[in-house]
C-alpha cells in the first residue's frame, strides 16, 4: 500500500480552502436579504407532516430513506402535500392530487446556506427514485444545502408495482395522482410546499433560492418545464438537468447548467453556450455508473426485504474508480467517479444564481470528421476533464467508442451502464513506475481540476485520500 506522504500537504491545503468557503456569501451576491415569499401565481398546497416513523407495513420509514449515513447534523423527514393542479401553465386548477416530498436538511439553521435543491424524481424503473442524492450527497451535507425529492409523476405514486402506494399501501394510502399532464404544476407546487413552515421549521426564514434538479427522463421533464412553464410560474432560480438530450432547451428564462455523461455525447455538437445556458460534456462516465447502480441495488434489497435482509451500500468500496479492481480485467459497469464532477456542477450553478455571474463555457468533447475522438487509452478527448481521466488507470466505456475492443461491446453489455477495462500490469508499470509517480501526477491533475472548477475541494480531498489508501490496481 503506498504512502500518503505525497498528497498530505495538499490535502491539508484543500481542507483549509474548503473551510474558508463554507457559509460565506459570494462577492457581489444578488441573493435577496429576505426569505423567498410564496408565489402569487402558483397555488399553495396543503402540507401534512412530518410523517412519523413507524407508520406503514414495510420499514416504517419513507421509501428510499437514505442508505448513505446522514452527517453534519442532517435529518431526513417526509411530508405529504395536496391540492388541485392544472394541465397547462395558465390553465384552471381543477384536478385534485396528493403527493410527497422527501426532505434532507441541516437541523441547525446556522448550517443552512440558503439554497434548496428540488429534485424531480425519476420513474424509469419505475419507482420514486431520488437520482441526484447519491452523486451530490457529500457536497450537499458539507455545504449546507437542503435537498428535496419530489414525486411529481404518476408512476412514482401509483400504476406501477414499485410505486409508493403499491410498496406500502398503508403509509401512502392517501396519495393520488391524476396523470403526468399535471406533473409540471405539481412540481411547481412542491417548490411552494417547501416554503410551508412545517417543512423547514427554523430554516424557513433563510430560504433565498430554489434550484431544480432532474436526471435522465426527469431531465427531459425539466426541459419541457423550462421551455413551457418557467416563464409563467417563475418559482425556480436555476436548473440542473442531467444525462439527457440538451439540444432544445430555452436559454432565456433562467440559468441552466446541464451536464451530460459520455453516453449522451453525440457526434454532433450541441450549439455553443449562450445566454443563460451552459453545457458540461463530461469525459468518462456512462449514463449510469457503478456507484449509482450499486446504491440502487442496496435500496431495492433494503426496501423489499422490509429492512430485514441487507445488501448494505458500501460507499468506500463502490466509490472507487478502478483501484480496487484487478489489473488487466474487463468489468461490467462504468467505474468513473461521477460524484466529483456532478458536485462541481451543482456548486457552479449555485454560484451563478447567487452572484449573477455566468460561469465560463467549458470545452466540449472533441469531434473529428463527425465522430467523437478518443486518446491512446480509449478514453474520450476534450470535454470536462477529471483527474481520473487525465491520469488514467482504466478505460471507461460509455455509449460506444471509435476504437471498440472486446471489452467495450459498443459501450457495455447494457449501453446505459458501460464497462471498465483496467490497464494490465505492464501498462500500469510503464505509466507509473512507482506508486509515488501515480500519486504525484494525480495530485497535479487534482490541482488543475480545482483551478478549472471541475471538482470541489471536498471532492479533491476524498479523491486523494482514496488514491493514497488504495494505490494502483493489484496484479491478479
The DSSP code sequence of 139-186 is HHHHHT-EEEEE--SHHHHSSSTTSHHHH-TTTTTT-B---GGGHHHH
C-alpha cell at 468: 493514497
Question: Which residues 6+ apart lie within 8 Å of 268 measured at CB?
Answer: 367, 370
- Grid cell 481542507 is found at 15
The 10s digit of each residue's pLDDT in 353-363 is: 999 999 999 99
What is each CA distance from 138 to 69, 146, 285, 466, in whole angstroms?
A: 10, 12, 19, 15
The 10s digit of each residue's pLDDT in 192-242 is: 999 999 999 999 999 999 999 999 999 999 999 999 999 999 999 999 999
Say if residue 10's pLDDT is above 50. Answer: no
pLDDT at res. 31 = 44
pLDDT at res. 34 = 59
Report the b/e string of 247-263 with b at 16+ CB within 10 A.
eebbeebbbbbbbbbbb
pLDDT at res. 13 = 36
pLDDT at res. 271 = 93
Rounded-to-integer distance, Cα 41 and Cα 51, Å: 28
The 10s digit of each residue's pLDDT in 437-446 is: 999 999 999 9
The 10s digit of each residue's pLDDT in 23-46 is: 333 333 344 445 899 999 999 999
What pTM was computed for the model? 0.92
Q: Residue 96's beta-bridge partner residues?
A: 84
Instruction: Report the chain's mean pLDDT, rounded to a whole number.
Output: 90
Rounded-to-integer distance, Cα 5 and Cα 27, Å: 35
The 10s digit of each residue's pLDDT in 256-296 is: 999 999 999 988 888 999 999 999 999 999 999 999 999 99
Say if residue 310's pLDDT is above 70. Answer: no
Rounded-to-integer distance, Cα 6 and Cα 442, Å: 10
Question: Which residues 6+ apart lie within 8 Å of 114 measured at CB?
Answer: 31, 206, 207, 208, 209
pLDDT at res. 2 = 39
To which H or E segment does residue 8 belong? helix 5-21
pLDDT at res. 99 = 98
pLDDT at res. 309 = 66
pLDDT at res. 411 = 66
Domain boundaries defined on the chain = 5-19+291-470, 42-254
pLDDT, average across residues 47-58: 96
Rounded-to-integer distance, Cα 47 and Cα 70, Å: 24
Q: Please give the radius of gyration of the chain, using alpha carbons only, rounded to the nearest integer.
A: 22
Sorting pLDDT into bands at 50, 70 and 90, what band is 312? confident
pLDDT at res. 232 = 97
**Helix/strand/coil for 284:** coil
To which H or E segment does residue 330 belong? strand 330-332
Higher pLDDT, 65 or 406: 65
Q: Are 134 and 68 in contact (CB under 8 A)?
A: yes
pLDDT at res. 401 = 59
Range of weakest confidence among 11-20, 119-128, 165-174? 11-20
The 10s digit of each residue's pLDDT in 355-399 is: 999 999 999 999 999 889 999 999 999 999 999 999 999 999 986
Q: Is it true that domain 42-254 has CATH number 3.40.50?
A: yes
- Grid cell 448550517 is found at 111
The 10s digit of each residue's pLDDT in 116-168 is: 999 999 999 999 999 999 999 999 999 999 999 999 999 999 999 999 999 99
Sorting pLDDT into bands at 50, 70 and 90, what band is 400? low
pLDDT at res. 407 = 85
Q: Would you call 46 exposed, middle or buried from its count of C-beta atoms within 10 A (0-12, 13-18, 19+)? A: exposed
Amino acid at each position: 500500500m503506498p504512502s500518503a506522504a505525497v498528497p498530505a500537504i495538499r490535502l491539508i491545503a484543500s481542507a483549509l480552502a474548503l473551510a474558508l468557503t463554507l457559509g460565506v456569501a459570494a462577492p457581489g451576491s444578488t441573493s435577496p436579504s429576505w426569505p423567498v415569499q410564496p408565489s402569487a401565481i402558483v397555488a399553495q398546497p396543503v402540507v401534512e407532516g412530518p410523517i412519523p416513523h413507524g407508520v406503514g407495513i414495510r420499514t416504517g420509514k419513507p421509501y428510499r430513506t437514505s442508505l448513505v449515513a446522514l452527517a453534519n447534523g442532517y435529518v431526513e423527514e417526509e411530508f405529504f402535500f395536496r391540492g388541485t393542479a392544472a394541465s397547462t401553465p395558465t390553465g384552471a386548477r381543477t384536478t385534485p392530487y396528493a403527493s410527497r416530498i422527501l426532505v434532507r436538511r441541516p437541523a441547525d439553521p446556522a448550517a443552512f446556506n440558503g439554497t434548496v435543491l428540488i429534485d424531480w424524481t425519476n420513474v424509469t424503473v419505475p419507482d420514486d427514485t431520488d437520482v441526484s442524492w447519491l452523486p451530490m450527497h457529500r457536497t450537499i451535507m458539507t455545504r449546507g444545502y437542503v435537498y428535496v425529492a419530489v414525486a411529481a409523476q404518476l408512476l412514482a405514486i401509483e400504476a406501477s408495482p414499485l410505486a409508493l402506494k403499491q410498496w406500502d399501501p398503508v403509509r401512502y394510502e392517501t396519495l393520488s395522482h391524476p396523470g403526468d399532464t399535471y406533473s409540471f404544476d405539481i412540481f411547481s407546487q412542491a417548490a411552494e410546499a417547501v416554503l410551508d413552515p412545517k417543512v423547514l421549521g427554523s430554516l424557513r426564514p433563510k430560504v433565498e433560492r430554489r434550484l431544480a434538479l432532474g436526471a435522465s427522463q426527469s431531465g427531459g421533464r425539466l426541459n419541457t418545464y423550462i421551455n413551457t412553464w418557467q416563464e409563467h410560474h417563475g418559482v425556480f432560480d436555476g436548473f440542473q438537468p442531467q444525462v439527457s438530450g440538451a439540444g432544445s432547451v430555452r436559454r432565456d428564462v433562467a440559468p441552466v447548467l446541464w451536464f451530460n455523461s459520455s453516453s449522451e455525447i453525440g457526434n454532433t455538437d450541441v450549439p455553443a453556450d449562450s445566454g443563460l445556458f451552459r453545457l458540461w460534456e463530461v469525459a468518462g462516465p456512462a449514463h449510469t455508473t457503478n456507484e449509482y447502480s450499486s446504491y440502487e441495488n442496496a435500496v431495492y434489497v433494503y426496501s423489499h426485504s422490509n429492512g430485514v435482509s441487507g445488501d448494505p451500500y458500501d460507499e468506500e468500496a463502490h466509490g472507487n474508480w478502478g483501484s480496487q479492481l484487478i489489473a488487466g480485467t474487463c468489468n461490467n459497469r462504468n467505474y468513473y467517479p461521477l460524484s466529483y464532477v456532478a458536485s462541481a456542477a451543482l456548486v457552479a450553478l449555485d454560484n451563478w444564481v447567487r452572484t449573477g455571474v455566468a460561469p465560463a463555457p467549458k470545452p466540449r468533447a472533441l469531434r473529428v470528421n463527425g465522430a467523437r475522438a478518443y486518446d491512446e487509452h480509449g478514453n474520450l478527448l476534450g470535454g470536462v476533464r477529471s483527474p481520473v481521466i487525465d491520469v488514467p488507470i482504466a478505460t471507461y466505456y460509455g455509449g460506444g467508442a471509435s476504437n471498440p475492443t472486446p471489452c467495450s461491446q459498443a459501450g457495455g453489455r447494457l449501453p446505459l451502464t458501460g464497462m471498465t477495462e483496467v490497464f494490465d500490469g505492464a501498462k500500469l508499470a510503464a505509466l507509473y513506475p512507482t506508486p509515488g509517480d501515480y500519486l504525484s501526477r494525480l495530485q497535479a491533475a487534482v490541482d488543475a481540476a480545482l483551478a478549472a472548477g471541475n471538482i470541489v475541494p471536498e471532492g479533491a480531498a476524498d479523491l486523494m485520500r482514496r488514491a493514497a489508501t488504495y494505490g494502483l490496481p493489484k496484479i491478479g
